[in-house]
Amino acid sequence: MLKPLLAVAAASSVAALPHRGMTPDMMLDGSVRNDGSDYSRIGSTSHVWFQSVPDDAEAPGSATGYWLDDALKGPDHAACLDGTAPLYYHRPGTGSGVNKWYIHHEGGGWCYNLNDCAGRAKGALGSTNPAKSKDGKTANLGGGYFDTDPKVSPQMYNWNHVFLRYCDGGSFSGSNATSTLVNGETLWFRGKHVLKAMIADLVGARGLKASTDVVISGCSAGGLATFLHVDHWATVLKTEAPKAKVRGMPGTTFGAAPAL
């Protein structure tokens, strides 16, 4: 089994990561700051924000969003809870980081029952429909390991930066072949296939095939996703990107971390 670099990241590092997740006792705020940008909070003490940049904005260094509509329509039916397409954001690497990758699973707890999941499907943690999620064509990934300032992130400032949107409610792990109707809301539990589609697109369309160094990360439910799926990432890349060194670096995890 591939050993992670860190079981738990330092609190200062975690607090700098973009994250729209929430713990089970938090309600998604979806508040709007006074600069007019759309944000969502994860809690009253964290003050961590993910900014979706307006489609017409000129935002130097922002990441481009990719909705995987073909994967949604394909035989794997890679779908968010509400049936919308998977989405990730990618900012290409530069210079010495052109073939190095930092890939972050978004967090946000789990939904625990069908009513909970139906409610989740109406917002950013269950949908990539911009009307619900406020997702834009580009996004500011924020600071921490995504920071492009070498003084802030000296190792990964110029790497490819990828933010995997979390929209399945189960740490990218569901694989139910059929949908479930709850209070008029059709739910899909297809997180495993969402992640599979993202990996395939990163390999086939974004240059991950040429990677030499890959760090798989995430916080909260995304940290748990790192534990759950880093071996799968490594297995795929062993074939698709044989030069790549793959490491897991989970931040704070949601629930108990699996035994290594």
Give residue 106's Cα distance to chain centre.
3
* Percent of the chain surpassing pLDDT 70: 73
Q: Residue 67: inside a domain, yes or no?
A: yes
260 lies in a domain? no
DSSP summary character for residue 181? E
3-state DSSP assignment of residue 115: helix
Parallel, antiparallel, or unpaired: how do β-strands 87-91 and 180-182 relate? unpaired
Half-sphere exposure of 105 (CA within 13 A, CB side): 40
Q: Is residue 186 part of a domain?
A: yes
- Residue 169 CA, chain-centre distance (Å), reads 12
pLDDT tens, position by position, 61-96: 699 999 999 999 999 999 999 999 999 999 999 999
Structural domain including 222 reads 11-22+62-253
pLDDT > 70? residue 258: no
Structural contact between residues 63 and 89, judged by C-beta atoms closer than 8 angstroms: yes
Spatial separation of the C-alpha atoms in residues 105 and 220, rounded to whole Å: 9
Domain CATH number, residue 190 = 3.40.50
Q: Which of 9-13, 107-111, 132-136 has the lowest mean pLDDT?
A: 9-13
Q: For residue 235, what pLDDT is reported?
A: 98
Residue 124 lies inside a defined structural domain of this protein: yes
Whose structure tokens read 């943690």?
125
For residues 260 and 25, give the distance between their C-alpha atoms in angstroms, rounded to a whole number.
Answer: 28
Residue-level pLDDT at 12: 26
Domain annotation covers residue 35:
no
Residue 149 counted as domain residue: yes
| Mean of all residue pLDDT scores within the chain | 81
Q: What is the CA radius of gyration of the chain?
A: 17
pLDDT of 234: 98
Mean pLDDT, residues 159-178 taken together: 97
Residue with tokens 């044989």: 242
The number of distinct structural domains making up the chain is 1
33 lies in some domain: no
User: Token pair of 168, please?
Assistant: 């399945």
Quick one: pLDDT at residue 14?
Answer: 30
* 161: in domain: yes
Tell me if residue 243 falls in helix, strand or coil. coil
